[in-house]
Structure 1
Amino acid sequence: MPQSTSVRYGSWLKAPVRSQLGTISLVGSIKDTRGINPQSMRILGSYALILIRSGKGRYQDANGRDLSFKAGDAILVFPDLPHAYGPNASRKWEQIYTVFNGPQFELLQGAGILNPANPIWSLGAVDHWQHRLEEIFQVSPPQGELSSARTLGRFSALLSDMAATQAETKLSPGDAWLGESMHLLAEPSSQGWLTPQEAAQRVGLSYENFRKLFAKRVGESPGAFQKRRRIEHACAMIYQSSRSLKDLADEHGFCDVFHFSKVFSQVMGESPSAYRKRVNGS
């Protein structure tokens, strides 16, 4: 499909795209709608990506966020988070929407790629992202488990590319410390996982200053960021291997299985055992 600044309005799917990885239930484009009233916020029950093609407006949610958006931005909606968004007084805006759900996207949220603390992505180059969506969701995407899994994989890759673009737009040349500290916190060293205090020392900041700057730029504390990343690693190991919970706790720096299970449940909303059963289809 050639790249174009025009867009086809209405639904882009004749049927939902379903696989064991998840479901993409709706894709399409609309314009000049009223939006959602902030006085009666909506709970969608699914994830959604809304790419803003033109216009400006505001996004609000039950976490207290009140953010503006413009053309070239994308709004992320989370299944259980009450939210509202809509255009400014002109009511002139265009959006391309995708509604999706399932284990693949829960993993992306667990990895921090989809993060309720960052519901607006500033992407720019709206024609580029529109073209990427059009390539994935052609008029009749092939059905069947393998074809649907490929479509979900391509859409997941698009979400990851968008998240990376958003992260890059937030960094400046003076933010080298932030990229380094995120790397130090997100991956174990040969001696195991560094503490946030050790990461602060590595990048040459006092811990108190490091903690405040990190939270301001990333949207969460260094400890919370690392906790999610450790659980993300554990999720990958659960999916790829049959390691015991004790081994997983040891490898990810937890003092015992009980502490590991408690933190895992806080991050993922279910126990490691329940997660293993779900992703293994047992």
Structure 2
Amino acid sequence: MSNPSNWPLPPESIRFVVPRRIVQQLADHPLSRGLYPLGIGYYHQASGHHMERVEHDDYLLIYCLEGAGLLQVEGLKYSVHAGDLVLLPKGVSHSYRALKSRPWTIYWAHFHGDDADAFYAHLSEPRQSAPILLTPLGLQSRLASDFEALLELRESTYNLSAYLCAANQLRQILTHIALLQPLARNRQKGDSLDLERVHSLMQAHVHEHLALDTLADSVNLSKYHFVKRYKELTGTTPINHFIQLKIERACHLLDTTSNSINEIAFAVGYEDAYYFSRIFKKIMGVSPSQYRNLRTGAYAYRGGSTR
């Protein structure tokens, strides 16, 4: 692991380095060798905090909550502000420091694993040329909570199960960041596509038909540009997402009511119960009646066959 800074810790800050013996166990264990933490911390208003590494043999994740810092990577300089997330790959020389006038408050985690390179590639922009990842995610309460959960690791002494949990908590953090990135880019570009508005409209009309033109009009875009931007931000089409919401609602009704399949189909906007059943099976892998029978054990789910 690259050495963490020797910045003097005030009482409200945390620095925890995973014991070397545990690191070796995590590197060997099938549930953690893909990704595991080496050190984690929380620095509160870190006045005087600075670090320089010529050699960097792991990955470093920094999430800035308030204040600001300055970062230099292979001759390139960056400013880091509240809401910014930084991911430094291994093998990249760098230095960073808290801004004197507004010292940053940050969560940080050093990590490694067989999948670390793949996670970095997944989070990077398609044509990214910068040697680091710097993303303005904004202040995300759930992401902060995820870091807090990771910090609970320091109380686990030598309990390997706790470290395995932390390894998968780190995996959750990185996959959550991937979900937040498109929304952050959307805000940064000032796009007129308000996903929250679109999804609220879908939820309000989940029991009926909703035209693509209506969704596009709600965010003042042409149908073509609406579909294009929506897919860029979410990875799916608006119609596919709307259908998914309908099927989720149908599952809820199958679980909580004794309504017939015809009634449930009509309740989620399908007049043709046969067509509804085909869509349901395509998404869920079982028919509506089979799904309902799963509760009683009258039908055994075999996992994924849609034949």
Higher relative CO (CA 8 A, sep ≥ 6), structure 1 or 2? 1
TM-score where L is the length of structure 1 = 0.50
TM-score where L is the length of structure 2 = 0.46
